[in-house]
Chain A
Amino acid sequence: MEKEEPRIGVFVCKCGNNIAGLLDVEALEEYSRTLPDVVFTQWNLYICSDAGLEEIKKGIKEQNLNRVVVASCTPRTHEPLFRSVCAEAGLNGYLFEMVNIRDQCSWVHAGYKEDAMVKARDLIRMGVAKAALLEPQEIITSNVAVRALVVGGGIAGLTAAISLADRGFPVILLEKEKELGGMLRSLYRLAPMDMDASEVIDKKIKEVQDNPNIDIYTGATIDKVKGFIGKFDVTFSANGTSKDVRLGVVIIATGAGNLVPEGMYQYDGHKVITQWELEEKLKAGKIDGNNVVMIQCVGARSAERKYCSRICCAIAIKNAILIKELNSEAKVCILYRDIMAYGVQNEDQLRKAKELGIRFVKYDPERPPVVNEDKVTVFHHLMGKEIDLPQDMVVLSTPLVASEEAEKVASLFRVSLDENKFFLEAHVKLRPIDCATDGIFICGSAHYPKDVRESILQALGAASRASIPLSQGEVKIEPIVTSLVNKDACRGCGLCVALCPYNALEIRDTDEGRKVNVITVACKGCGVCAATCYRHALSINSFTDDQMEAQIHSFLAA
């Protein structure tokens, strides 16, 4: 492309009093006019208002601007708006640069008015220096293979698969066990609505089996994953045969595991059991003895496992009620640290449990209960002394822990796990179902311990999120990505390929020898490759070496 001389317009915002309250915006505008390549300047009360945006468009058209700099708030909120306004006026949106003189200047330097003015001038000068070197970029689009992969055939995976299939999308459902159903297969009744677990899961399994859009593979393992959103190439084996499939999106619903409390509270699996093992006894309708003591937070909220498993309190309350219903003479005592009975129904159940005479005793983790042959001794907070509770059975409430497969699945799909090995979302509030890698979504207890309702909710959410690229048929990607700016310099050493966290680079044999190829749809523009390449063959659009150095230079060498 032939380079034209930069004609930069600088627009300085007062943001009402937010900026103008401290900074002399009119003086900043005047200063901007003295900077190299700046041909037009203007201040405005609110640039982001309709009138302010019109002024940018007018500037581009009437002054023939080919670069726009806005000095106002933060690009994290307003860059997309200003970019689109430039584009509306016929200027490529990537020939726009934003200077932050509000969030990082006027708001934080109230006591340093003079210094803040110096800083604002520097920042504008740095922005203009970078703007002069900006290059136009085009939004990248890539086709999406219309097929989804759901990993895990528990309640979350089944729900997500049905939801996607009902929208008309073909789904491949992989389950590592021989049977579908996951954790629910070993449960009896579900808290807090007291539903039959097998009824719920059997209905879902039948729906999946009857759905012509879902291909089910049980006893499956994933061997290899390549690619990126729209084009994931997955190799898996099931029943002794290997299969290659191309998929547009992936939903991870690998569930969680149960902590076996070996060596804790005399756990033996017979007289001292877990809530999980109690489910089986309840299913059989047989509880030995009249005195049951439950201990909460066994192996949870500890130094080793800091998190709260959330659902164990509701499970304990539900099972305590079931014991009372089976045998009204039974004495059930729940030893707890804090009761987690969130939401409408759980609180109702807690109240019901108390009405039924189930006893709740708070214990101090510093002085945990002690399980003896026929009693449990616990320090009672309010009485300020130790009490003995007779026991015929002790039930330990253990947390859900990350699935043993989590690390393997995470490394195959290149997604992150949290410190407890649960799958990590891209943003805890704004993108709670997406993985940081585009096109991969999480649901169910693979994410963190959830009850059935929450797993179903998140599965429906994941299916909904996953259906967006599937129904659009293509994905649009911000062009702030790596590009091979100097092909001759690249020797195909592959250092960048090894370091790329997103699988976005590959070495190809070309007529000119081994060269790196950028898979732009997979690239996140982190720049590790550009910083690593000692031949300076790679660069990041809108963050090139020249542009970065121009900012440093214009600050320090002016």
Chain B
Amino acid sequence: MNGEFEPMIIAFCCNWCAYAAADLAGISRMQYPANIRVIRVMCLGRINPNFILKAFQLGADGILVSG
């Protein structure tokens, strides 16, 4: 990655919207960098703030909560 800073991003995505949108981005062949890991939930209501703190604690650079 040319020694440049590349953030490690976790995205929590709702199955019914944001996750579907990420799939749609794929179907539409939209291109974006590969440093994001999506964790699927059935609804963002599931996201306990602890998950976010834990991810930061373990070294995540950014967290996207989308739903």
Which of A33-41, A115-123, A161-169 sits within the interface?
Answer: A115-123
Shortest distance in angstroms between A551's beta carbon and chain B's nearest beta carbon?
5
Assembled-state Cα–Cα distance A355/B39 (Å): 62
Number of A-B residue pairs, CB cutoff 8 Å, is 116
A109 interface neighbour in B34, B43, B51, Cβ under 8 Å: B34
Q: How many residues of B sit at the interface, in one of the four size bands? A: 35 or more
Q: Which residues of A contact B20 (CB under 8 A)?
A: 76
Q: Which residues of B contact A557 (CB under 8 A)?
A: 58-59
A551 interface neighbour in B31, B39, B45, Cβ under 8 Å: B39
Shortest distance in angstroms between A126's beta carbon and chain B's nearest beta carbon?
7
Shortest distance in angstroms between B6's beta carbon and chain A's nearest beta carbon?
8
Question: Which residues of A from 376 to 432 have beta carbons under 8 Å from B?
Answer: none
Q: Let me know if A526 and B37 touch, CB within 8 A.
A: no
Q: A76-B19, A100-B23, A543-B46 are in contact. List 20 more A-B contacts (CB 8 A).
A: A74-B23, A76-B15, A104-B25, A108-B25, A112-B33, A115-B33, A115-B34, A118-B34, A126-B39, A501-B45, A527-B42, A527-B46, A528-B45, A531-B46, A543-B41, A548-B48, A548-B51, A556-B8, A556-B58, A557-B59
Asked, given contacts A76-B23, A551-B39, A556-B58, whether A545 binds B48 with beta carbons under 8 Å apart, the answer is: yes
A100 interface neighbour in B27, B29, B32, B38, Cβ under 8 Å: B38
Asked, given contacts A103-B22, A108-B25, A548-B39, whether A540 binds B60 with beta carbons under 8 Å apart, the answer is: no
Question: Which residues of B from 10 to 32 have beta carbons under 8 Å from A?
Answer: 10, 15, 19-20, 22-23, 25-27, 29-32
The yes or no answer to A530 lying at the interface (CB within 8 A) is yes
Q: Which residues of B contact A105 (CB under 8 A)?
A: 34
The yes or no answer to A147 lying at the interface (CB within 8 A) is no
Q: Let me know if A525 and B42 touch, CB within 8 A.
A: yes
Q: Which residues of B contact A (CB under 8 A)?
A: 1, 8, 10, 15, 19-20, 22-23, 25-27, 29-43, 45-51, 54-55, 58-60
Encode contact with B along A530-556: 1 for CB under 8 Å, 0 otherwise. 110000000010010100110111011
Asked, given contacts A109-B32, A556-B58, whether A531 binds B40 with beta carbons under 8 Å apart, the answer is: no
Shortest distance in angstroms between B35's beta carbon and chain A's nearest beta carbon?
7
Q: Let me know if B30 and A108 touch, CB within 8 A.
A: yes
Q: Let me know if B27 and A107 touch, CB within 8 A.
A: yes
Shortest distance in angstroms between B23's beta carbon and chain A's nearest beta carbon?
4
Asked, given contacts A103-B27, A119-B34, A531-B47, whether A480 binds B42 with beta carbons under 8 Å apart, the answer is: yes
The yes or no answer to A524 lying at the interface (CB within 8 A) is yes
Q: Interface centre among A112, A526, A528, by most B CB within 10 Å?
A: A526
Q: Which residues of A contact B35 (CB under 8 A)?
A: 115, 119
Assembled-state Cα–Cα distance A110/B51 (Å): 30
The yes or no answer to A343 lying at the interface (CB within 8 A) is no
Q: Let me know if B37 and A123 touch, CB within 8 A.
A: yes
Q: Which residues of A contact B34 (CB under 8 A)?
A: 105, 109, 112, 115-116, 118-119
